[in-house]
Structure 1
Amino acid sequence: MATVMTRRLERISASAAVLMFLLNTLNTGRCDEQVPLMLWTSEGISLPGQLPPTAGHIVGRDQLGSYLEKALSVGPRNVLLFLQDKMSIEDFTMYGGAFGNKQDSVFPNLEGALMSSPSPLVLPAVSWPASNAVIGQLQDQLETSPLYMDPETLSQLRLNASSPALLVFRLPYGNGADLMSAKEILSGNDEVIGQVLSIMKTQSVPYIAIYTALRPSREAASLTLETGMGGGRSLLQSRRGHKERERERERQRKIKEKGGDYAPVEFKKGENTCILMWARNLSVSIQRNGRWESHDLTPATFGEGVTPRLHDSSCDQTESRLVLNYEGVLGHRDFKLIFAMSQSHYRVSARRWFTLDAVELVYDGTKAIFNGSRNIYAPAEYSYRCESVSSFQWPVLVPRSSKDPATQWRVSFEDFQIQGFNVTGSEFSYASDCAGFFTPGIWMGLITNLLMVLVLTYGLHMIMQLRTMDRFDDPKGPAISVPQTE
């Protein structure tokens, strides 16, 4: 792996390298937000030759899109996207055996795939906004939704060379300061790549594989040219400043992730939006062989470049139905998550209310139904929001009957919000929260105050029962004689 990338980078002449160093030294902008990207095909499948960019050139979104379009125009329609959280070119120089120690390389499977591919393409510097948009570009060109997979799920899926498929494999990255932890995680990611490629080889399906990341894992320190003895001190200060800026950017990124920085699912009827749904997490679980197997639907539902398939959804004045279509969920090729809602007028409250009547799971011709109308409701002009909607922990969704297939499933929605009627624009109306007025904290405060009032009342009652003496001793007169017999 490192050998291939080193050959690409060796094309830079010595004078060009010195010039780039000087330019980077004088440049005060951000020159380090790049990630590498590798593209290769299965054995026996060759693509038209594409010239890599010149040394020092950063591939943007449009140029990356042209690379992918040329590859997919004549190549296989099955695409494997290995998307790592973070990655930089330094990861390959540090852990890829770039200095002759090939036995220490943590990328043997990746390097073998690139060597065996007839037409590999290595892009050392791709802007990370472009790499973030690679899922959306592949989705538009393949005209299919991405399937978030793992090797176990892929082994149960049967692919067809004639129908396109976009399989996304999310890979982690070590965020700690321990270098060995990052090395071990990268080695584990390479093993995942090897497992996936082995499974694809057994299925004899041609494919195009892409390995890239969402963000860079390292940032180069900006250097300033200074004369005299202050140069070393300035370099250390520059590095400290970059570390601080990196920590600040990481903090801002976590804040955005925590806040759920993505748009809700929006279903339109004509030009008007009639259903909105948002959640921080959507997950389903099924019980098999005495244990629960879970699947996270969030990445395939929300996020930049993700377009959920909403066909079969519908809405009118009395009923709304939001249908989310997925593929490859827990071994089921076709999987649907359906939210069925209705609204009606109630004479007691003299207003209209909407209810989430049911949450349905439809898979391979089987339907599992969870009833939610008893707990999930809101005024028709409002949206409904709840911190947790689940069928197993403080359940608000219950199986329709004891014999319903829903008894084998679990659903969980975190920070859930939905509106099926009276949607204005593309924003939720005022939210009716599921939390009641008397929360546990309020009950604890009321009970504590009640106990204090009872103690105070008892004390006042005891004080009021005290009686003063009816006779007193006069120091100037004779002493009071109190007979002992009385």
Structure 2
Amino acid sequence: MAAGMFLLPLSVLLVLGAPWRAASSQQVPVLLWSSESSLWTSPPGTHGGHVTTDLQLGQYLDTALSNGPRNVLLFLQEKLSIEDFTAFGGVYGNKQDSVFPNLENIMESSPSSLVLPAVDWYAANILPTYLKEKLGVSPLHVDQTTLLELRLNESIPSLLVVRLPYGNSAGIVSTKDILRANDEVIGQVLSTLKSEGVPYTALLTALRPSWVNKENDFAVGSFGRQLLATATPTPTYPPLVFNQTQGIPCMLFWASNIKVFMGQEMDLTNATFRGSDPDITKDSFCNRSGNSMLVLNYNNGLKIVFRLQSRWYPVSGRPWFTLNQVELFNGTVNATFLAPQVNAPSNYSYHCEYVSNLAQHGSLLVRNTSESSPGFTWQLTITDFQIQAFNVTGTKFHYASDCAGFFSPGIWMGLVTTLLFVFILTYGLHMVMSLKTMDRFDDPKGPSISVPQNE
């Protein structure tokens, strides 16, 4: 019943705004909590990269509205993405550097709470309409002042909507400060309800995402960065799959080229993906909630080790993984590289055009100076690097978090050229405005000026 009611306003939007619906491929988070316990007995069993649909969101809300309080509080932010919690939230309960201390405390202390990291944002947009039809009341837009004047009744349903900004047009206040102010508003509003002893169910979501992620489903061979490029065709061999127990995949690795240099260059691409070499079953292991390690043992004695770690971020509702180290072994000679910039959500894979210790390829790998053999020069370059060590559900990668930066060389050239023209224009205007005319002129029809000379 609830799912059908939730889909009804959506069908109207599909008829009236089909082009808008077709373009809405981004997601927003939805955070739910309530003063009533046991509304959600268990977290939703979703696979990595799962996007909550309007039908599933309606089912979660139906449970809360049927069994929980009838006073519903909707915090509707202008823009919000799960990356905001990761970028500005605390890690492992450390709230000193977090801009969401109130929200973190609420989610941890509430009798019932639920975090949906990725929800279709068109579904979040019609939440006021769905809640209006479900509760049978019109939404009332309130702030902290008007909330103090209201007298809520536990037996009478109510729908209160609190609008929260994300940025300002002048750009004077930073996004971090605005999010911190929004967190204070959430804390003050909930403190008011708590002081009045009013039971409630609250939601936090947004009208649209703040981080636009151009992430596609990166199956092997579909890396797609081909605009105005004449690159060589992408290889079509499958990724390297490590199965830990009962033949279930738990780690995926793929690259279009692997080169190692120590005195001489070794191309390991064919040996890695097109032959029986390397052996990955000897030392590799998976731990879906902690550490994982992929070990490539080659027949020539070379060994490459990828050490990955997953860390939990409480407010974002999902862990992120980091490639802590890449180790190279060749007998007694070894090298260790740190890779702090290689990270992504644990339900995503990570992709980068180059993972290398060479400066021309971005230097994502940093040589560990404390290693035992600093006298040897190792170089490692992996092209079209892609790895996933957590939440693997098959032999295909999940959505990929790409390392590509926003400012490409072409954009930098355009910015520098624009700044140069602005400087020239400003200098020319300054010169024109500095010109002065003479305050006196000689009259050509009048008597000439005679200058006496002394003899």
TM-score by length of 2: 0.42
Larger radius of gyration: 1
Larger RCO, structure (CA 8 Å, separation 6 or more) = 2
Instruction: Identify, as 1 or 2, the structure richer in helix.
Output: 1
